[in-house]
Amino acid sequence: MKITLKVWRQKNIQSKGQFETYQVEANEHMSFLEMMDVLNESLIAEKKDPVSFEHDCREGICGTCNMVINGQPHGPMKGTTVCQLHMRSFKDGDTIVVEPWRAKAFPLVKDLVVDRSAFDRIIQAGGYVSVNTGQAQDANAIPIEKDTASDAFDAATCIGCGACVAACPNASAMLFTSAKVSHLAQLPQGKVESKKRVQAMVNQMDDEGFGMCSNVGACEAECPKEISIENIALMNREYFGSVVGSETSV
Amino acid sequence: MSWVSKFLTSSIGRKLLMSLTGLFLVVFLVVHLIGNLQLMVADQGKAFNIYAEFMTTNPLIKTTSYGLYFFILLHAVQGIILWQKNRAARGTRYAVPNKVSSTFASRNMAWLGIIIFVFLVLHMGQFWFRMKMGDVPPVTYDGQTVKNLYAIVAEAFSQWWYVVIYVVSMIVIGFHLLHGFQSAFQTLGLNHRKYTPFIKGLGVIYSIIVPLAFAIIPLYFFFMIKS
C-alpha cells in the first residue's frame, strides 16, 4: 500500500519546525512504527536525517511511543498505543499527518520526540508509598474488597505515555495525575499518605504548566489504557478533602 | 500565599469556582424562567408587572441579585482566565484538529460563553437598565402603581432582529449548558456509577427545556400578540 506521510520535522526547540512530505511503500501487516522504520531506512539510504521518534517495548505496555496521527494521539484505534496500531487501519493512498505531542509542559526535543520528564516530577512529588525496610508482609494479610482492588488496578494501568495531555484541548495532565492519586488512595497502603500526596502532586502538576481540565473527556477517549475520568472526580474529592477538610498542607 | 488563595488559584480550585458559580446560574435560570412565563398569562401583563415590582423592591431579592451579578462576573472572568491559561498550556496548535473524541460544546465553552456575555449586556441594557434607571411608563392595578415592564418587553419582542438575537442566544445557552451542567458535577467530584447517568440525563433535558421555554416567549409575542 502507498502512503503519503506528512511528518513534523524540527531540529530542536529553538528552530522552527515544518511538515515534510514522504511517500512510503508499506504493507497492511506492519505496525505504524514498522512503517516509520521503513521510512527511516530509506532516508538513511538517501543520506538524509531519519525521523526521530520514541519507542521501546513495541508491545503496548511501556508508554514510550507517542505520535499524534491525523489529530488523534496514538492514532484512530481505540485503546492502543502507536506500536499496536497497524497499517490495516489505513487505506491504500491515504495521507497521514504525524505530529508530536503538543504541550508547553512537554518541550520538543527533536521531530516527534518530546521531553515528558514533567510526569516524572509529578510522580516524584507524591506518586509513591513510603515503605520502611524489613520483610515484606504477605500480600493477602490486608483484606481489600475485590471491586476496590479492581478500580485501583484500572487506575494503575496508566503507562504515563502523555496521550491525555496531547488529546486535551487544554493540555491538562489531570487524567495522568488522577490515575496515580486514585490508584494509591483506594488501597490501604496508599491511604496513609493520601492527604499529603494529592496536594503535592496537584501542586507539582500546576507548577509544570499543564492546563486546567474542563471535563471535555478527550483524554479518556484517547487513552491507550482507557483510564476513566472517574479518577479525576476522585482526585478532586481527595483534593477538596485534603485542602479544605484537613489540617494537612504541603 | 495563604492556603485559601493558594487553593482558589490552583487548577482544581479555579474549576471549583467555575462549577459552583455555574450551578448557581443554573438555578437562577429556572427562577428567571418561572418569572418570564408570566408574560404568557393573558392579563395584559398584570401578573408580570406585579412580579417585576416585587423582584426590584424586595430587600431579600435585591441582596441576592448583587450576589448574582458578582457570580456572573466571577464565572465570566474566571472562564476567560482559564481559557487564556489553557491556550498557553497547549503552545503550538495541532495541524489536524481532533473532533472525534469530544463534543462540540465541550471544546467551545469559552466562545459560547463570550456570545452569552454579549447577549447579557444587550439584554440587561434593554430591560434591566431601563427598569432601574430609565423611563418605564407607569400602570395602576387595584390602586397600586407599578412600572409597566410588560410594555417594554412587548415592544422589544415586536422587533424581528431582537427576536432573532434572543432565539439564537438561547440556542447558544443550550449548548453551553449541555456541557456545563454535567461538567459542574464532575468538577465537584460527584461522579458515581449509579447517579452520573441520571445527572447527565437531567442535564440534557434541562439544556433543551429551559432555553426552549425562554425562546418560546419572544416567538409568542412576535407571532401571536403582534397579529
Instruction: Please report which confidence band the pLDDT of residue B225 belongs to, taking 50, 70 and 90 as the band edges.
Output: confident
Inter-chain touch A234–B189, beta carbons under 8 Å: yes
Q: Does B170 touch chain A (CB under 8 A)?
A: no
* Beta partners for residue A95, in sequence order: A4
Cβ atoms < 10 Å from Cβ of A100: 26
3-class SS at A227? coil
Which alpha helices (DSSP H) does chain B contain, by range?
Answer: 3-9, 11-36, 46-57, 59-90, 104-107, 109-123, 129-132, 149-156, 160-187, 196-220
CATH class of this structure's domain A117-249: mainly alpha
User: In this structure, is the dihedral angle defined by the CA atoms of residues B122, B124, B128 and B129, taken in order, positive or negative?
Assistant: negative
Mean pLDDT value across residues B96-125: 95
What's the pTM?
Answer: 0.94
Break chain A into its structural domains and give their ranges.
2-99, 117-249
Chain A: give the shortest CA distance to residue B212, in Å: 24
Residue B73, C-alpha cell as written in the block: 462576573
- 8 Å CB contact between A97 and B96: yes
Q: What is the ipTM of this complex?
A: 0.92
- Mean pLDDT across chain A, nearest whole number? 96
Q: Which of A187-191, A245-249, B18-22 has the highest mean pLDDT?
A: B18-22
Least confident of A36-45, A112-121, B92-101, B168-177: B92-101
Mind listing the pLDDT tens digit for each residue in B139-186? 999 888 999 999 999 999 999 999 999 999 999 999 999 999 999 999
A106-125 average pLDDT score: 97
Contact A218 B188 (CB under 8 A): no
pLDDT value of position B226: 59
- Alpha-carbon distance of A237 to A247, in angstroms, equals 16
Task: Tell me the average pLDDT across A150-158.
Answer: 97
Grouping H, G, I as helix, E, B as strand and the rest as coil, residue A244 is coil
Q: Say yes or no: A215 contacts chain B, CB-CB below 8 A.
A: yes
A142-166: b or e for each residue (b if 16 or more CB lie within 10 Å)? eeeeeeeeebbebbbebbbbbbbbb
Average pLDDT estimate for A126-148: 88
Whether the pLDDT of residue A40 is over 70: the answer is: yes
Other C-beta atoms closer than 10 Å to the C-beta of B2 total 7
**Yes or no: domain A2-99 corresponds to CATH 3.10.20.30:** yes
Contact: A172, B16; criterion CB under 8 Å: no
**Tens digits of per-residue pLDDT, B43-64?**
989 999 999 999 999 999 999 9
